[in-house]
Amino acid sequence: MLDLAIIGGGPAGLTAGLYATRGGLKNVIMFEMGMPGGQITGSSEIENYPGQDKVMSGLDLMQSWPAQAMKFGLKHEMSLVSSVSKNSDIFTLTTSDGKTFESKAVLLATGSVPKKAGFKGEKEFFGRGISTCATCDGFFYKNKEVAVIGGGDSALEEAVYLSKICSKVYLVHRRDTYKAAPSTIEHMKHTQNIEEVTNVSVEEVYGDNTGVLGLKVKSKEDGSIRDLNVPGVFVFVGRDVLNEPIKQEDGSFLCEVNEQGEVIVDLKMKTSVPGLYAAGDVRIDAAKQVVCAAGDGATAAVNIIEFLG
């Protein structure tokens, strides 16, 4: 019987494992199919993690985290958790390779992944001029022109954020109306260095071995091509929440989620099901930053220890 099962080995899961084991829980397993570290290990440059005054890769930042967490007794199970159920006060976890585990508490820290827009060059230039995080990468385009692709709240909010750093922001959207809050739309429209490029499709992002050089968009009205010479392209067309482990056979979820599938939690990272917690990008209102995910993991672990009493 596990005290705590942690599903996911990114910053939230690793920090939860560190705090839980150092805080006295004896039998804690972190389920992570690959090497721990999370999506941030794919980032080429990070300079906003507190206490690190040098620019480093995500892989370098996360390198020592697993060893630190496991020093206090956290175990790593290289299995994919396919389902979680609860009977009475005990959770049962089933992995894709047929193993089962029972646990008194569960922390879901599986995260989310940005949706792909599907244009030519998106995969080739991701991390080399194409980004899905303005907070992470906006500074690298200080006083330069960039493009933001998307028409929802995230796209418009990030366009406004980038407008404070960049000389100009092209807001590229396939429609001429936005799926964003009226106040967000108004804020964007009153930002002088944002140019709306609407009712277009993204034909391709192009560049060379140094990175992105621009993107081409096609008008849906007359078919004309416009070339935007920008070194940075930010894509915000939604996220896929990795909530599969808590999805039940009938299509419902083990705990309450919102319309986007994000897990609803309180300030203690508690879900609607006693003993089930969620941390990091899988939860509602996540800031999608490493430092915030780590804080979630610590918060969850402290409260799980209290829950288990």
Q: Quick one: 2-113+239-308 is in which CATH superfamily?
A: FAD/NAD(P)-binding domain (3.50.50.60)
Average pLDDT over every residue of 94-116 = 96
Residues ≥6 apart with Cβ < 8 Å to 6: 13, 16, 17, 20, 28, 29, 30, 31, 106, 107, 109
Domain ranges of the chain: 2-113+239-308, 116-235
Write down the mean pLDDT value for the chain.
Answer: 95
Query: What SS3 state is found at 139?
Result: helix
Residue 91: left (phi > 0), alpha (psi -120 to 50), or beta?
A: beta
Percent of the chain at pLDDT > 70 equals: 100
What are the pLDDT digits (tens) for 127-185? 999 999 898 899 999 999 999 999 998 899 999 999 999 999 999 999 999 999 899 99
Residue 5 is which amino acid? A
Asked if residues 7 and 110 have their Cβ atoms less than 8 Å apart, the reply is yes
Please provide the CATH number assigned to the domain covering 116-235. Answer: 3.50.50.60
The token pair that represents 182 in the structure block? 């009226």
Catalytic residues: 133, 136-137
Q: Do domains 2-113+239-308 and 116-235 have the same CATH topology?
A: yes
- Higher per-residue pLDDT: 51 or 39: 51
Average pLDDT over every residue of 69-95 = 97
- Is pLDDT above 90 for 288? no
